[in-house]
Structure 1
């Protein structure tokens, strides 16, 4: 899920209806054995009062450098990290155990379209901001329930950047990537990306994953009913069966643009085959239910909340 709305100047997470319900939902899903992942599209701290300003201009700042202690945007950044911590602390089971989750900050940093990307920052500035953000959340605020995911964009197109932006083995738990493409090129890009990411993850003794993916502007444009088998699962199994998991983009409320089909839509039958394949594991599958993580999570009791 994308974390948003946690950056308002007057935000009180415990009183915010959306974040309260999101915390409840995360606890509910974790108790069923699901893995929780959050991506944070943080607002641009140079424009702290502008909603959804994550892709706005640099305004003359080297923005990531200004997040560090003693710099112009540090107080704004720290306040937002404190709000995140308040939210994370809402996600606890009845016995007080924190819900573990994957955190994917600064994603697609090897491209230009976000304020934390290449138009506003150098590689060294990114690395310093990543390390500081992790230190603050993990050491200063005690968030020890997080696995940190490094997820640049298009690693086979940007192989040097993929390696240059890597924060370090002590700063990353999961090496992943984001990839969108037109239907005609999707599977070939996935195969090339897979080779790059799995090799790097293996060399650094990290978990490999496909953090965010899909057909550009949605799978509703695809006419191949077997797409999830022929263009997604088969290339992955062929080139990188070591992937721990893959996550699609979201289905929007209006359903004119979607990334996972519903019953009756063109690619639904292929998605069912993908779900039923011996090469895929979904929540509820016996293989997943027998894992230590699933057994631990499902043994927990949801915290009773008013």
Structure 2
């Protein structure tokens, strides 16, 4: 008897775990875009007109649908920029460019002074300008290399106190200022063919509620993180005259409103709210994504700010129907302005299908949904 009870209990648990994914999904839920008014102030008080125009454009886009994009859609991967590019998977599969094209400043702090740095900036700017000319909205994140050893990922054993050392009076303050100056050189070089500055959704110090970066939880105080963010905004705008940035605050997935706001540096230093939610193949993605987007939407509504799913994806697309059965269900009724999947590096690390991949048809079906917008569908 115990054997059969045990078997029955196992079946119930298995069934529950399989159906739990659908708990928060409502097939009848409708997307009601946020009624965001034009902001009276930005984090950068001297923001240029082109960047103001981008924010207002995002307000309009949000009324029609969700701009969809990918990090580094040129296939240049972790070594961006490099001469030997991988295939342009996104365009080859879809015939269109992403509405959002993501880039990262992770290598800028590791370039030697002189011709190497100049070459890096030139190549980086060239790719951003190309993406802009293709109709994509540009977003740039910054996986800031740990100054204690200058490693990209680093060892958690040398994460403690790094944020403190970047603040006023700290050991690495001068290095911090120098890297911001390098970033400013690049950001101010982003100019289109008509000579106008290219606006950027700038997402520094992201996923700060995790413990995988030196600016994450447990390696600094909450107030130190907030000051680091404020310093970044003020130094770039006031000292280095960078005025083409919309500042995006983006934690990793959270369990509550209070967790989302724990490290929030204040309304005067943030222009757009974001959240990063990945599918870790634990049957929780759909519920986690829906819950997190609901949390952020509530906060965004109160603060009169746009919000976005700033990073998402299923590494290597082991579920061939992930885009229609998971991602679309997660975002279809949300009023996010945009969603962005992570990059393609190689055939054993990718987030968009390449030609011949089994999820290619599902990806295009997802992109053909009325609310999902690519570059040619923006206005």
Give the TM-score taking structure 2 as reference length: 0.69
1:246 pairs with one of 311, 319, 339: 339
Once the 2 structures are TM-superposed, how far is the Cα of residue 10 of structure 1 from its aligned partner?
A: 3.3
Larger Cα-atom Rg: 2
Once the 2 structures are TM-superposed, how far is the Cα of residue 160 of structure 1 from its aligned partner?
A: 2.3
2:220 corresponds to = 121
Instruction: Describe the shift of the 1:12–1:84 C-alpha distance in structure 2 as closer, same or farther (beyond 3 A).
Output: farther
Stretches of 4+ aligned residues off by more than 6 angstroms: none
| Distance across 2 between alignment mates of 1:127 and 1:13 | 35
Aligned-partner SS, 1:7: helix
- Size of the aligned set, in residue pairs, is 276
Map 1:38-77; keep pairs closer than 5 Å: 38-47=140-149, 50-52=150-152, 54-57=153-156, 59=158, 61-77=160-176
The range that moved more, 103-112 or 38-47, is 38-47
Aligned-partner SS, 1:104: strand
Aligned-partner SS, 2:218: coil
1:222 pairs with one of 283, 304, 319: 319
Matched, 1:17 2:110: no
**What are structure 2's unaligned runs of at least 5 residues?**
1-102
Map 1:84-99; keep pairs closer than 5 Å: 84-99=183-198
Map 1:1-306; keep pairs closer than 5 Å: 1-8=103-110, 10-12=112-114, 16-47=118-149, 50-52=150-152, 54-57=153-156, 59=158, 61-155=160-254, 157=255, 159-183=257-281, 184-215=283-314, 218-223=315-320, 225=321, 227-238=322-333, 240=334, 242-253=335-346, 255-285=347-377, 288=378, 291=379
RMSD: 1.9
More RCO (CA 8 Å, sep 6+): 2
C-alpha distance after superposition, 1:108-145 (max 9, x if no partner): 00011101111211111100110011100011111110
Once the 2 structures are TM-superposed, how far is the Cα of residue 56 of structure 1 from its aligned partner?
A: 3.0
C-alpha distance after superposition, 1:169-206 (max 9, x if no partner): 11111100111233322111111111111111111111
C-alpha distance after superposition, 1:222-277 (max 9, x if no partner): 14x3x212211133113x1x100000011112x12221112321221111111111
C-alpha distance after superposition, 1:77-103 (max 9, x if no partner): 000001111111221124432111111
Instruction: Describe the shift of the 1:62–1:15 C-alpha distance in structure 2 as closer, same or farther (beyond 3 A).
Output: closer
Once the 2 structures are TM-superposed, how far is the Cα of residue 14 of structure 1 from its aligned partner?
A: 7.8
